[in-house]
């Protein structure tokens, strides 16, 4: 995804509008020579995956999302539940220009280290915590020129998302959810069912944090592969 790792890091917030992020996925699939895909996304990748499945339903064979609610569910729930609005308060802080980048980088990226390693927001499962080498790799990537701005620009476009003329997903959906997500309330996971017009499966992974693919990689991989293999050879996927 643009703004992360060794992908392009455009500095303009305008470059991270959701229509561009969704088009990135379409362009990659078509560049690789395909017209359909099984799409998997986590967090912001999950948001883009939901939106891609909504706007290009014919291109998504199966959709798998990790710890990210359907965009309409998130909007509706946050507006009605102050507890979720409080958990999402960083969305508003990150709208400020330059100051969030400063606060995240001072004291040798102390705030980012806390995000990845604290008991509340970090990986929850003992034995899966980031090693010193893992943490150094994350911080190295985020310390590159423009990297923090690229990551924060996702938040800076959250209030100008693609218009959802129709917001239902027509492909089969697997939603995986870490039970101990510090950023998102679990009630939103079940509410996603309202926006699925096909088979929908929700798996709540006990003890897992927001970073469930790192907390419980074996369980997550097994659930994903099982879902991908189901219905192979069928012309359609039934509820």
Whether 42 is catalytic is: no
Whether 55 is catalytic is: no
State residue 67 phi and psi, 5-degree precision.
Answer: 45, 55
Instruction: List the catalytic residue out of 16, 154, 155, 195.
Output: 155
Whether 155 is catalytic is: yes
Instruction: List the catalytic residue out of 4, 20, 24, 43.
Output: 43
Instruction: List the catalytic residue out of 42, 55, 70, 210.
Output: 210
Task: List the catalytic residues.
Answer: 43, 155, 210
């Amino acid at each position: 995804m643009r703004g992360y790792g060794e992908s392009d890091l455009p500095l303009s917030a305008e470059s991270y509008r959701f229509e561009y992020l969704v088009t990135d996925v379409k362009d990659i699939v078509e560049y690789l020579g395909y017209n359909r895909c099984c799409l998997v996304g986590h967090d912001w990748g999950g948001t883009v995956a939901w939106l891609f499945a909504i706007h290009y339903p014919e291109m998504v064979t199966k959709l798998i999302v990790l710890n990210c609610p359907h965009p309409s569910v998130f909007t509706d729930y946050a507006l009605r539940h102050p507890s979720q609005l409080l958990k999402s308060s960083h969305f508003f802080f990150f709208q400020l220009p330059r100051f969030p980048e400063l606060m995240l980088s001072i004291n040798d990226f102390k705030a980012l280290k806390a995000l990845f390693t604290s008991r509340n927001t970090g990986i929850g499962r003992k034995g899966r915590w980031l090693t010193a080498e893992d943490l150094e790799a994350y911080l190295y990537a985020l310390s590159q020129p423009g990297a923090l701005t690229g990551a924060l620009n996702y938040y800076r476009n959250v209030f100008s998302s693609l218009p959802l003329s129709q917001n239902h997903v027509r492909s089969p959906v697997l939603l995986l959810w870490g039970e101990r997500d510090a950023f998102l309330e679990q009630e939103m996971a079940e509410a996603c069912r309202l926006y699925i017009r096909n088979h929908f499966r929700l798996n709540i992974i006990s003890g897992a944090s927001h970073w469930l693919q790192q907390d419980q990689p074996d369980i997550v991989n097994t659930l994903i592969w099982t879902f991908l293999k189901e219905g192979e050879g069928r012309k359609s996927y039934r509820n």
